[in-house]
Amino acid sequence: MDIGNKVAIVTGGGSGLGEATAIRLAEGGARVAVVDLNADAANAVAEKIGGKAFAIDIADAQAGEKAVAQIVAELGTPRILVNCAGVGTPMKILGKDGPLALSAFEKVVRINLIGTFNMLRLVADAIARDQEPGDGKQTQGVIINTASVAAFDGQIGQPAYSSSKAGVVGLALPAARELARYGIRVLTIAPGIFLTPMLKILPDEALEALGRSVPFPPRLGEPEEFAKLALHMIDNDMLNGEVVRIDGSIRMAAK
């Protein structure tokens, strides 16, 4: 699918993987809605790329419905959704003070999995209601969700994060199968260790050690490399229902 003049929504678009993807989409001629919980970050990216900013909690049903309706009214029907919003708070099942608070586990799953599904359902509905004419073989829309290698190689301290990302992985195929009748393709990217704001707070020595743990190339991934994969997925009509790891062949150790 050609992204030129298409409306694209990027969640988590205020920084990291989402920001890089929003920039690449805009460079390709898409009209980009930058969605992020951080209003300042969303506005900064939207201003840089000539897009529109929407500051919402993606796991809030009403906020999501309102934002998508506003995007349709102001920009047009979204044909592209890239879900990058997520959190990766470390936590153990059993800590010094006892078992992990259920609310802490629930918060991560709410943002990473429920938030992803919320935006998927709303954008899919908008596309299904506004079908472009064709012979039924053209892509009407592409939805790309972001999982993680933690969905497969979950480490100690990642019970909530790994569970939520495994849920995103499990969503890909049933969503792709159901939405095929509307010409909507659904894909998932599972990144390894990428240089995002969550990692930039670490000392340089720690970042270098993390990079060396990647078999090849022995470095951290760059957000632009994630964005390049997302744009290829949008362009290649035969990619559907698939989860693609982009990780330098790393397999995470237990801790």
The residues carrying an active-site annotation are 161
Torsion angle defined by CA atoms of residues 118, 120, 122 and 124, in that order, rounded to the nearest 10 degrees: -160
> Strand 7-11 vs strand 78-83: parallel, antiparallel, or unpaired?
parallel
Per the structure block, which two tokens stand in for 170?
């499990």
Torsion angle defined by CA atoms of residues 191, 195, 196 and 202, in that order, rounded to the nearest 10 degrees: 130
User: In degrees, to the nearest 5, what angle opens at C-alpha 74 toward C-alphas 130 and 55?
Assistant: 110
Q: Which amino acid is at 37?
A: L
- Rounded to whole angstroms, the Cα distance separating 130 from 197 reads 37
Tell me the residue ranges of DSSP E strands in the chain: 7-11, 31-36, 52-55, 78-83, 94-95, 98-99, 141-146, 184-191, 243-246
- Rounded to whole angstroms, the Cα distance separating 35 from 12 reads 6
Specify burial of residue 100 (Cβ count, 10 A radius: 0-12, 13-18, 19+): middle
